[in-house]
Structure 1
């Protein structure tokens, strides 16, 4: 065994943490750590241990005690692979988290502009995302309204976005599906229309649909506005999904300034039963880095 990995495993044992099945070829008989919340890794996070096959990676996640999975790129994957992944998730008790539902306009306005062709393109992609969601047993899909239209007053842009989301909600509601709006921070994504949680909250209230909720990405909102727990509290009735990443660096919890143990305890105490997507990188390369991610989540999950 690699010396650094052995040292990390020894440290984890000293902290009372569990790292079952990491060195085993199957790990199916290993007793997994039992998490208090539904943290959702993504493909590539554990590929040094599990290999590059997506199905093997799903098995590995389940072996380590994770109960959910998210995949931004699911919409682009072959139908056969989607079906295979869905089968493994069902067999292993992994709930499907978000996938990105549409083309995101990073550098030009689309929904904010009110352009009818851009609106129809977006609505067509929302319709096309429905069979994907059903195929992989997903409830949530990520929506990013795109870039601001600097030629329009913000109030007009907001009205354009709200109208489009109302039409999208009417498409999704009969299927019980939910688009979750993700505010993104100004540093990583300058110029986007949606950047703050109060803004997302106001939009969801205006759309007034169970199919339009907030994706509260804790990393993005720490960069954008801070004041995390009060903003989560204010937005609570419109939050449908969480994503995770520490700041600075957007790596696993414990690598930055965010007190994730307190945040997770707060979310748990509120009775949250949904998914928290691990939308971040690994702070270290190789197997050592993958082990560090697992250790970090077990550490911050010990809040009871």
Structure 2
């Protein structure tokens, strides 16, 4: 069949099924090659549970196997700490069998509306440190090297510099707990639009804090989606913060969906990160722009496109 005829036929079929052309193109991915690890990515992109549930079902183990079959060699799970121990153990075994590296999970209770780490309150500090201690057991169980930390809401009754000193002191104490286990907490700045009122919002701020803590167990989680909204200038900011970045997360803007759906030139961003020799994880912390199986395959196609530098 000639290429022009094929495109016309595909477009007509997509229209009948209510699928976009991009989604229809993505549906050809699995048909063209059904062998495991059909894709070979240059960077370690990490999907999360639910991203491929229409193909793999709701069982976490089946979802992990599907991810591995598509060539993804990393995985992240914000909610891992809250999962039953037997589920954590099954997931860890599957990741080991399929050579999947575990990425971040959220290490502690995040205070979205009231100050905790910025306040300097000793009870809230202890609550956080206790959460860090219990997260170490989870990290060991699932072989995780990183855990996400969000310092919480600002304290409007205190000068920002006092707040910063309180956060640094708490993170120094947390680092002393984590260092013997070679686990790194990664501080995630979040944008003002989605999360108004939080203490940590910008990469220079996270850089300053990590330099002050001065520990291999306290680094930056550079979420490209959040930082595009908060500050832009992505590649120069990545370069300036580079020595303190341990982990990336991904999401296009607007929409917080897969690359190629928004304004961020992810091919160039990924190329730059790769050129600097990054061998860590880039978490796919975003939604699918298209629902159902077509949307899941469109996500895979988006990463193939963005990784083709």
Q: Partner of 1:171 in structure 2?
A: 177
More helix by share: 2
Q: Distance in 2 between matches of 1:286 and 1:4?
A: 11
Q: Partner of 1:153 in structure 2?
A: 159
5+ long unaligned stretches in structure 1: none
Specify the SS of the correspondent of 1:202.
helix
5+ long unaligned stretches in structure 2: 1-12
Specify the SS of the correspondent of 1:142.
strand
Q: Distance in 1 between matches of 2:291 and 2:32?
A: 16
Residues 1:130 and 2:98 are matched in the alignment: no
Specify the SS of the correspondent of 2:271.
helix
Query: What is the correspondence of 1:1-304 to structure 2 with a 5 Å cutoff?
Result: 3=17, 11-12=25-26, 19-20=29-30, 29-303=35-309
Note if contact 1:20-1:31 (Cα within 8 Å) is conserved in structure 2: no
TM-score (norm 1): 0.93
Specify the SS of the correspondent of 1:272.
coil
TM-score (norm 2): 0.92
**Aligned-pair distance for 1:22?**
9.4
Rg larger in 1 or in 2? 2
Q: Distance in 1 between matches of 2:32 and 2:74?
A: 18
Number of paired residues? 295
Q: Are the structure 2 counterparts of residues 7 and 249 from structure 1 closer, same or farther at C-alpha, using a change threshold of 3 Å?
A: closer
**Aligned-pair distance for 1:288?**
1.1
**Aligned-pair distance for 1:6?**
10
